[in-house]
Structure 1
């Protein structure tokens, strides 16, 4: 009888143990993180891009965020057919409604992973999965708390592959300084002309010609005012603003916001939107909503 009680107790124990760990097994099998890439921009903003393989029978998946929710913005979630998926934030994670999807692409920006002190940037991250980090151009590593799995290059940019754990990486951005010397030469020319005054008959200008000259003068003044106003609008533009305007001029005066982001990959999405709104406020651009896209046009 005593031996039977021991056997029953063991069976109950193993059943409870199985039930206890069963949800964790299901949670682990509901999705697989295939690839995570962190793209660090020159202003410290980090874009997190994650490719996830999903169990089609699962209604939702829950992923940990790499930064606090308050510092997460520009969230985009698509399935394998680029259909937007709904999501909601939890405490330190994001829940995606992925029923029927086999692959999910999650992308968001955050400004909480980097800090700058005395010209030195530091990336601090705690990751539960392997990921890749692509640093801005002209980045030089100054410190790492541990050696990465792989050090490589991606389009001339430094790329690190990090295994799960806590990471602290310091880097510095080196910019090439160019000095332009402008030499101004002043040429003074003195011309002495001697005119012989002769007496010529005075001709009276016809009335029609007089009115034609007046009209031409008015048109010239009007065109001059328009050009002056046009120049004032474009005067004082920053380099990135001028490049956006030049790009639009070369593309028949209009482009999708997505096309601008592709043309200027070094400008973060939020910075690009602020540039567009600033140019719109100056009266240089205007933004129209066409379906789900923003069309940016020269005003």
Structure 2
């Protein structure tokens, strides 16, 4: 009888760990991510929620649907629950996505079950673990740090997938093509970056958008090291957008960000040939 009671207690505890706390992640086409952390709390409880990002927007903390005060730390949020119920923390961040060429990677540094909604038409090309469930463009990942890699094909390709082209087959085709490309040209890309490369080549290799091109060109034209504030002011780009672009370029290993006193500097890591 005692063994049965211990087993039931352990099963209840495990179920609470897996299903009691959940993170919902919605990935937008531009790389921004909406994170929603939900957990059941008891009355008069001090709760600490991990905040694994540096840049975030629209932070909201509610208990049973009503906003409550919180303490924002460097890596977490602390709240006091005056009542029992559902605690929900939501925010939007660009820090959880990375892009190399056509391949996007969404990082999931949460120790809870994660319900991830990818952009419409996304095709998964890599997973860090075995998903608990896949339904449409949503993937449920297990506890622990995980990641999902995906590509968003052109519109005509999306239509083929929606008509039943076959998720497994399309995943295989995309993975094969990507592996072939990187296998054939990966070494050549490294050599080009060390000897100097044109901005047009970088655009082709990394699928850079117009704003990313402008920022790289600006840094190159100003000696390879500039302040974030100068980029923002001279190019007329909003503060949040500038930070998102710089973080994306940093993840591509094209620049590095350096904090000096209260200023952030963007420093080129590749030699860009003048046009």
TM-score (ref. length: structure 2): 0.47
Q: Which one scores higher on RCO, CA 8 angstroms, separation ≥ 6?
A: 2
TM-score (ref. length: structure 1): 0.44
